[in-house]
Amino acid sequence: MSINRRGCNPKAYPEGIKQKLFEILGENLKTGELLASHTTFRIGGPADFFYQTSTPEELIKGINTAKEFNLPYFVLGGGSNLLVSDSGFRGLVIKNLCRKVLIQENKVSAQSGTLLSELVDLSEELGLSGLEFAAGIYGTLGGAVYGNAGAFGKAICEVLEEGIILTPKGKLEIVNRDYFEFDYRHSKLKSSKDILLSTTLTLQKEDRERIRKKIEENLKVRKSRLPEEEGSAGSFFKNIKSSKNCLSGVSAGYLLEQVGAKEMRIGDAKVFPKHANIIINSGKATSRDVKTLARILKEKVKEKFNIELEEEVIYLGK
Ligand SMILES: Cc1cc2nc3c(=O)[nH]c(=O)nc-3n(C[C@H](O)[C@H](O)[C@H](O)COP(=O)(O)OP(=O)(O)OC[C@H]3O[C@@H](n4cnc5c(N)ncnc54)[C@H](O)[C@@H]3O)c2cc1C
């Protein structure tokens, strides 16, 4: 069995599959694409197959093709909440670049590959309030809905009105906010395995200047706390959920600080000195380095507080 590019192994697949995949998916299909270049951690080995999609039709074609050939598949947004294994992903990674946006008065309908930053800019321009909290959050709308992304006590669930999903059985459905069962860093997409194709957000008309000021304020706070140059995936662990409020909880960063996390590193994987709940890649960190550091951090918190931290970051690959 031949292994190339740090573990990529197209020969592990039945004879002729590569050619058939190229016939169906065309020139947007690649083999051995390094996933490090598609994640904000800048970590991750090759995907055996990698397919870039710019329309929902292509996205659906990618998923259907993976199913037809029994290939594991993974829908990738901005890669900003992911830790990809050093050996990469055995299967088809489908990168979502579907970014069409339609505006009707205060309703913004956007395809799920639209960058959150683009929607924040657009809503500011149009004097539509509701997304100021999202200024500075990386990634796509799809990734944001998947993990109910939020900051400053607000989250995407508050503005989402409805969405179009593709179910694992291949059906297209229009669903409303209730379907998503939003909770702190959680949506039903995590268990249903439905893929979000687009959503409609309901925003409120507001003075542009006020929106701009709020965005600036939020960005200033983020700049003082979050890494800008180093690779990371933002907060590594979830805060401990408060029973009263589904959008926030006891800070995992506080618990980590109490166990001396800020002094800790494994190889080039380090705890960010300004925020104990962020692991950064300060150079050539491997996924193994990050996982080892995360395991030690969890053990220390468990030992001191008897609290089991849960990863917010999603692990991909073995
Ligand atoms: C410096 C930094 C700061 C951050 N700050 C915050 C913050 O303040 N608040 C916060 O909540 N997060 C924060 N994050 C984490 C991250 O930006 C968010 O979780 C973001 O919403 C992830 O979106 P993505 O497109 O990058 O998702 P990805 O990382 O690409 O994917 C995450 C998961 O979503 C799934 N997914 C993606 N698209 C779809 C889709 N269309 N349908 C179904 N599933 C899908 C993927 O399969 C994967 O399981 C930060 C990250 C960084 C690097």
Same domain, 87 and 155: no
Same domain, 200 and 114: yes
Q: Which atom of ligand 1 is nearest to the CA of 227?
A: 1
Mean pLDDT across the chain, nearest whole number?
94
The single residue of 123, 185, 232, 287 carrying the catalytic annotation is 185
Concatenated DSSP letters of 215-269: HHHHHHHHHHHS-SSSEEEEESBPPEEPSS-TT-EE-HHHHHHHTTGGG-EETTE
Name which residue sits closest to atom 53 of ligand 1, judged by CA.
233
Query: In which band, very low, low, confident or very high, does the pLDDT at 11 lie, cut at 50, 70 and 90?
Result: low
CA distance readout (Å), 105 to 122, 126, 164: 13, 9, 20
Name which residue sits closest to atom 47 of ligand 1, judged by CA.
75
Residue carrying the six token digits 């618990």: 255
Structural domain ending residue among the three candidates 68, 96, 124: 96
**Domain range for residue 138?**
101-209
- Joined together, the tokens standing for residue 37 give 């270049």
Q: Between these two residues, 295 and 228, which has the higher pLDDT value?
A: 295
Same domain, 66 and 138: no
The pLDDT of residue 22 is above 90: yes
Torsion of CA 299, 304, 309, 315, to 10 degrees: -20
Packing angle, helices 116-126 and 208-225, rounded to 10? 150
Q: φ and ψ at 237, to 5 degrees?
A: -115, 155
Number of domains, the chain? 3
Same domain, 154 and 58: no
Determine the distance separating the centroid of ligand 1 and the alpha carbon of 147, expressed in angstroms.
7
**Which of helix, strand or coil describes residue 305?**
helix
Same domain, 132 and 198: yes
Query: In which band, very low, low, confident or very high, does the pLDDT at 246 lie, cut at 50, 70 and 90?
Result: very low
Same domain, 111 and 170: yes
Pocket, ligand 1, Cβ cutoff 6 A: 40, 74-82, 96, 112, 137-140, 142-144, 146-147, 149-151, 189, 195-196, 226-227, 232-234, 314
Is residue 222 annotated as a catalytic residue, yes or no? no
Is residue 248 annotated as a catalytic residue, yes or no? no
Does any domain span residue 218?
A: no
**Which of helix, strand or coil describes residue 203?**
coil
Same domain, 205 and 110: yes
- Joined together, the tokens standing for residue 64 give 């259907």
Same domain, 309 and 278: yes
Determine the distance separating the centroid of ligand 1 and the alpha carbon of 232, expressed in angstroms.
12
Name which residue sits closest to atom 9 of ligand 1, judged by CA.
150
Same domain, 106 and 191: yes
Query: In which band, very low, low, confident or very high, does the pLDDT at 241 lie, cut at 50, 70 and 90?
Result: confident
Packing angle, helices 17-25 and 56-68, rounded to 10? 160
Residue carrying the six token digits 């150079």: 283
**Which of helix, strand or coil describes residue 311?**
strand
Structural domain ending residue among the three candidates 96, 129, 144: 96
Does any domain span residue 220?
A: no
The DSSP symbol for 273 reads: T
pLDDT tens, residue by residue, 90-108: 999 999 999 999 999 999 9
Does any domain span residue 243?
A: yes
pLDDT tens, residue by residue, 45-78: 999 999 999 999 999 999 999 999 999 999 999 9
Tell me the best of 38, 50, 81 to mutate to test the pocket of ligand 1, counting ligand atoms within 8 Å of each CB and taking the most. 81
The pLDDT of residue 244 is above 80: no
Name which residue sits closest to atom 19 of ligand 1, judged by CA.
81
Give the predicted TM-score (pTM) of the model: 0.94
Is residue 235 annotated as a catalytic residue, yes or no? yes
Name which residue sits closest to atom 23 of ligand 1, judged by CA.
143
Q: Which residues contact 168 (CB under 8 A, 6 or more apart)?
A: 192, 193, 194
pLDDT tens, residue by residue, 167-206: 999 999 999 999 999 999 999 999 999 999 999 999 999 9
- What CATH number should be reported for the domain holding residue 263? 3.90.78.10
Does any domain span residue 219?
A: no
Concatenated DSSP letters of 15-70: TTHHHHHHHHHGGGEEEEEEGGGGSTT----EEEEEEEESSHHHHHHHHHHHHHTT
- What CATH number should be reported for the domain holding residue 69? 3.30.43.10
Q: Between these two residues, 317 and 2, which has the higher pLDDT value?
A: 317
Does any domain span residue 224?
A: no
Same domain, 111 and 126: yes
Structural domain ending residue among the three candidates 31, 62, 96: 96
- What CATH number should be reported for the domain holding residue 119? 3.30.465.10
Q: Which atom of ligand 1 is nearest to the CA of 78?
A: 26
